[in-house]
Amino acid sequence: MTKYISIFTILFCARVFAQNGQLYPDIRVLESDDRGITIEVRPEYVENTKIVTSEGSFEIPQFKFAISRISESAGSEDIRTRVIPIAVPSYKGNTVSIIGSDFQTINDFSLAPDPEQKIVDDMGTTTKLYKTNFISRQNFYPQQIAQLANAGMVKNWLTANLIVTPYQYNASGKILKKYTRIVVRV
């Protein structure tokens, strides 16, 4: 019974992603079998957001379907992610492996920090303050560019979010790794 549920889950994911590239043009299913699914993610980058403040000039790499992660604290790296909902066979024991990737290295890149937002009047107008307090020092952040999170039931399906982060930042060297292709096995 479990084997049939796993096969159906994988086929369901494959059908969702295999919409001739129209629904999710940055995602392609490479392989799907009873042991898992292999997905290729090719982020569609658009023009970087440029931010100029009294603290300096910063940039945020932008790509289609990007969302801001929930920041633990203002001042940490402003990392955007791509969230892909997938069906999984169980709450525990699901693994994510990066089996291939291509990236370019950009030197002297000033990644924007997550801003601190303050309400400045009774109308709820906010202002953003950009002060750096980066997590990455000698290593690239985030360390994992793909992970599973938030497993739960949706209409009798056990699902999880595959969170893909198509760039990493090293604050001490001001180096950005910008991934153009990531192959993930779940």
User: 24: how many CB neighbours lie within 10 A of its CB?
Assistant: 18
Q: What is the pLDDT of residue 65?
A: 92
Torsion of CA 175, 176, 182, 186, to 10 degrees: 80
Type of residue at 132: T
State the pTM of this model: 0.79
Those residues with Cβ within 8 angstroms of residue 114's Cβ, 6 or more apart along the chain or in another chain: 68, 71, 73, 74, 75, 76, 77, 78
Q: What is the pLDDT of residue 77?
A: 82
Torsion of CA 67, 70, 72, 74, to 10 degrees: 60
Of residues 156 and 41, more confidence is placed in 41
On average, the pLDDT of the chain sits at 82
Q: What is the pLDDT of residue 2?
A: 47
Domains of the chain listed by start with CATH number: 2-185 (2.60.40.3800)
Q: What is the pLDDT of residue 113?
A: 84
Q: What does 132-152 look like in DSSP terms, one character per residue?
A: ---S-SSS-BSS-SEEEEEEE
User: 163: how many CB neighbours lie within 10 A of its CB?
Assistant: 20
Q: What is the pLDDT of residue 13?
A: 52
